[in-house]
C-alpha cells in the first residue's frame, strides 16, 4: 500500500502538492502534475479512504436506512435500494445498507448519526408521523426521504404521486365502463400505523370515485396471497356486482386473481384487475399479465441519492421535493365490463 508520502518522495514534491493534484483544491503546473501522476501510476497508488475521510470530514458514505422486518423487501423496495446504490456508486459515493429497527430504536439511530460515518442518509419507509426524521435532523445529518411525512416543511423527499396515480387508475377503469370498483389496500394494522401510501391512496380513491359520482369501497388486506383471497371474498360480499378491483398490494393481488379464478370469475371478462405501484417484472408474472400502475422503481432511489449528493457537494440548502406518478401500463387483466355498455348506459 503506497501512501502519499511515497508518491511525494518519488515525484520529488511535497505531500501537499500531491494532495492538490488529487483534489484540485489549488492550481498545479502542468509539469508538476505530470510528475505526480507518473509517480502515482508507478506505485499503483490509491488514497486511503479512512484517512481522507478523517482529514476532510467527509466520508463519502451515504446511509440507506430501512426497517427490515421478517419478510424482507418487496420488489418495489428492492428497486429503490438498487437504484440508490447505483446512483451513489456513479457519483463516487458508497451506500451503506443500514437496517434500523422500525420502532423504538431511535437511540441506535442517534448513535449511528453521531459516529459521523455518513455524510448524509436516505430514509425509506417513512410514516406519516415519523420520529426518526426529527432525530436525524437534530443530529444534523443531511437527509432525503423516500416517501414523506405528513408535514414536509423543510424536508427533502422523493415520493410517488399517489393522488395522481389513483386518479388515473380510477379514470381508466371508469372510462372502460366500470362502475362498481373495489379498492384493496394494505392491512388495517398498516393503515393504523400511519403508513403514508396506504392512507394517501385511500383518500385519493374516495376523492376520485366521488368525483365520478360512484361509491368508494375499500377493503384492507394482509400482504399475502391468502390476504388477497380473503379480501376478494369480503369485496364480493360487500359489493356483489363488482366488475373491477384496484389493488394497492403487490402480494395480495395474486391471491385475488387466484380467488377470482376459483370462483369461476374470468379475468378480465368478468372482473378487471389493476395493480397499483407494481413493477413490470411482477406484473408479467400473473396470468393474465396485470394491467398496472408501474412504479418509478429505481428512479426514486436514484433521484433521492442525487438530490442528497447535490446538497452535500453544493453549498445549497435548497429542499428537493418531488412527486413521481406511476404510469398506466395496460396488459391483459382489464377490459370493459361484460354486462354493461362502456359508457355506463
Q: Which residues bind a second copy (CB under 8 A)?
A: 1, 44, 46-51, 53-54, 59, 61, 64, 68, 71-73, 75, 78-79, 81-82, 85-86, 89, 94-99, 111, 114-117, 224-226, 251, 254, 257-258, 261-262, 281, 284-289, 297-298
Task: Report what 152 binds from a second copy, DNA, none; CB cut-off 5-8 Å by kind.
Answer: none
Q: Does 12 bind DNA (CB under 7 A)?
A: yes
Residue 48 CB, nearest approach to DNA (Å) = 4
Q: Grid coordinates standing for 144? A: 432525503
Q: If contact means CB under 5 to 8 A according to the sort of partner, which of DNA, a second copy, none does residue 180 touch?
A: none
Q: Tell me, by CB under 7 A, how many residues bind DNA.
A: 32
Which one, 48 or 207, has the nearer CB to DNA? 48
Q: Name the binder of 177 from DNA, a second copy, none, CB < 5-8 A by kind.
A: none
Strands across the sheet containing 327-329: 217-220, 181-185, 244-247, 272-278, 291-294, 327-329
Nearest approach in angstroms of CB 58 to DNA is: 7
Q: How far apart are CA 93 and CA 222, in angstroms?
A: 37
Whether the link from the prior residue into 288 is cis, omega within 30° of 0, is yes
| Shorter beta-carbon distance to DNA: residue 116 or 340 | 116
How, if at all, do strands 327-329 and 291-294 pair?
antiparallel
Residue 97: enclosing H or E segment and its boundaries? strand 94-99
Measured CA to CA, the distance from residue 120 to residue 117 in angstroms comes to 9
Query: Nearest Cα to 319, choosing from 154, 209, 83, 82?
Result: 154
- Contact between 142 and 119 under an 8 Å Cβ cutoff? The reply is yes
Binding flag, residue 90, DNA (CB under 7 A): no
Q: Of the ranges 53-61, 87-95, 232-240, 311-319, which one interacts with DNA (CB under 7 A)?
A: 53-61
Amino acid at each position: 500500500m503506497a501512501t502519499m508520502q511515497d508518491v511525494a518522495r518519488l515525484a520529488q514534491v511535497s505531500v501537499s502538492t500531491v494532495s492538490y493534484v488529487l483534489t484540485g483544491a489549488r492550481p498545479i503546473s502542468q509539469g508538476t502534475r505530470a510528475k505526480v501522476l507518473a509517480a502515482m501510476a508507478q506505485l499503483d497508488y490509491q488514497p486511503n479512504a479512512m484517512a481522507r475521510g478523517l482529514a476532510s470530514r467527509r466520508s463519502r458514505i451515504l446511509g440507506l436506512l430501512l426497517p427490515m422486518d421478517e419478510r424482507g423487501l418487496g420488489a418495489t423496495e428492492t428497486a429503490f435500494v438498487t437504484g440508490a446504490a447505483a446512483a451513489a456508486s456513479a457519483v463516487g459515493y458508497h451506500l451503506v445498507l443500514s437496517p434500523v429497527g422500525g420502532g423504538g430504536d431511535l437511540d441506535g439511530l442517534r448513535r449511528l448519526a453521531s459516529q459521523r460515518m455518513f455524510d448524509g442518509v436516505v430514509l425509506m419507509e417513512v410514516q406519516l408521523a415519523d420520529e426518526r426524521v426529527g432525530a436525524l435532523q437534530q443530529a444534523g445529518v443531511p437527509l432525503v426521504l423516500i416517501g414523506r411525512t405528513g408535514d414536509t416543511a423543510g424536508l427533502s423527499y422523493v415520493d410517488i404521486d399517489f393522488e395522481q396515480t389513483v386518479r388515473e387508475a380510477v379514470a381508466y377503469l371508469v372510462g372502460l365502463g366500470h362502475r362498481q370498483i373495489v379498492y384493496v389496500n394494505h392491512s388495517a394494522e398498516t393503515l393504523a400505523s400511519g403508513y403514508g401510501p396506504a392512507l394517501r391512496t385511500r383518500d385519493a380513491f374516495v376523492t376520485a370515485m366521488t368525483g365520478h359520482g360512484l361509491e368508494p369501497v375499500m377493503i384492507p388486506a394482509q400482504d399475502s396471497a391468502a390476504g388477497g383471497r380473503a379480501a376478494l371474498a369480503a369485496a364480493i360480499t360487500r359489493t356483489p356486482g363488482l366488475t373491477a378491483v384496484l389493488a394497492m398490494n403487490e402480494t395480495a393481488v395474486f391471491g385475488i386473481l387466484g380467488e377470482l379464478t376459483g370462483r369461476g370469475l374470468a379475468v378480465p371478462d368478468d372482473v378487471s384487475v389493476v395493480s397499483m405501484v407494481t413493477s413490470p417484472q411482477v406484473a408479467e408474472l400473473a396470468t393474465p399479465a396485470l394491467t398496472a400502475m408501474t412504479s418509478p422503481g429505481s428512479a426514486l432511489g436514484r433521484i433521492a441519492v442525487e438530490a442528497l449528493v447535490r446538497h452535500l457537494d453544493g453549498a445549497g440548502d435548497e429542499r428537493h421535493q418531488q412527486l413521481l406518478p406511476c404510469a398506466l401500463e395496460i396488459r391483459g387483466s382489464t377490459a370493459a365490463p361484460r354486462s354493461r355498455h362502456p359508457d355506463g348506459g
